[in-house]
């Protein structure tokens, strides 16, 4: 279930405000400039090829490209049996920013985007059907968990794909990780 946990950035050990209501999550995120939507599920096999996934969501992708000037779309997928899963997880765990919006649509599985917005950190556990667009320049990080299992469509304006500028801040190490927040979502 999609879950939003809002932490005090200055006191990350304090209990967060939590909601599971996707309408409320959308309103809260949209009020901060973060696009959040729920798209209808397409009937795809669990082992669908990236081309099949992109074709199934062709109209939604075309709409986003038209609205926001995205040039490319691809599919990223990670499973617990990937021998490099720890390295992939660690790559995204430190706070960073991008010079373009970071857009992800979850076709399957889940992951948590942490958005450092002023004095708060919004931890958004995204799951199948969730679209999130983190605006350029927004401090954030992503946790796929120790046993990642997800497939996402990614959109980019930069043909080079994912390029991050790390902030050097340690806030991501002070907030609960994926495995700790799983209990919040139950």
Sign of CA dihedral 170, 172, 177, 183: positive
Q: Is the pTM of this model over 0.95?
A: no
Fold of the domain spanning 3-185: Jelly Rolls (2.60.120)
Cα Rg for the chain, rounded, in angstroms? Answer: 16
> What is the model's pLDDT at position 183?
55
Domain ranges of the chain: 3-185
* 140 known member of a binding site: yes
* 20 known member of a binding site: no
CA 63, CA 73: separation in Å to the nearest integer? Answer: 12
> What is the model's pLDDT at position 52?
97
In this structure, the number of other CB atoms found within 10 A of the CB of residue 143 comes to 23
- The whole-number mean pLDDT for each consecutive block of 10 residues of the chain, a chain of 186 residues, reads 96 95 97 95 89 96 93 93 95 94 94 97 97 96 96 85 84 95 58
> What is the model's pLDDT at position 186?
41
CA 12, CA 166: separation in Å to the nearest integer? Answer: 20
* 98 known member of a binding site: yes
Q: How far is CA 87 from CA 80, 94, 112, 161, in A?
A: 12, 13, 17, 18
* 96 known member of a binding site: yes
How many residues does this entry show for the chain? 186
């Amino acid at each position: 279930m999609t879950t939003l946990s809002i932490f005090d950035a200055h006191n990350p050990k304090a209990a967060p405000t939590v909601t599971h209501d996707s309408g409320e999550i959308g309103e809260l995120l949209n009020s901060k400039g973060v696009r959040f939507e729920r798209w209808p599920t397409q009937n795809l096999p669990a082992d669908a090829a990236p081309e099949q996934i992109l074709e199934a969501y062709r109209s939604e992708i075309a709409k986003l490209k038209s609205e926001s000037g995205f040039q490319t779309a691809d599919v990223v997928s990670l499973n617990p049996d990937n021998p490099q899963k720890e390295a992939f997880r660690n790559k995204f765990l430190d706070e960073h920013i991008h010079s373009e919006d970071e857009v992800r649509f979850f076709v399957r599985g889940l992951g948590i985007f942490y958005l450092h917005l002023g004095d708060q950190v919004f931890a958004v556990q995204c799951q199948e059907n969730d679209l999130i667009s983190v605006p350029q320049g927004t401090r954030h990080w992503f946790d796929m968990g120790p046993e990642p299992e997800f497939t996402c469509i990614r959109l980019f304006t930069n043909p080079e794909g994912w390029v991050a500028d790390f902030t050097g801040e340690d806030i991501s190490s002070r907030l609960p990780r994926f495995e700790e927040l799983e209990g919040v979502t139950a």
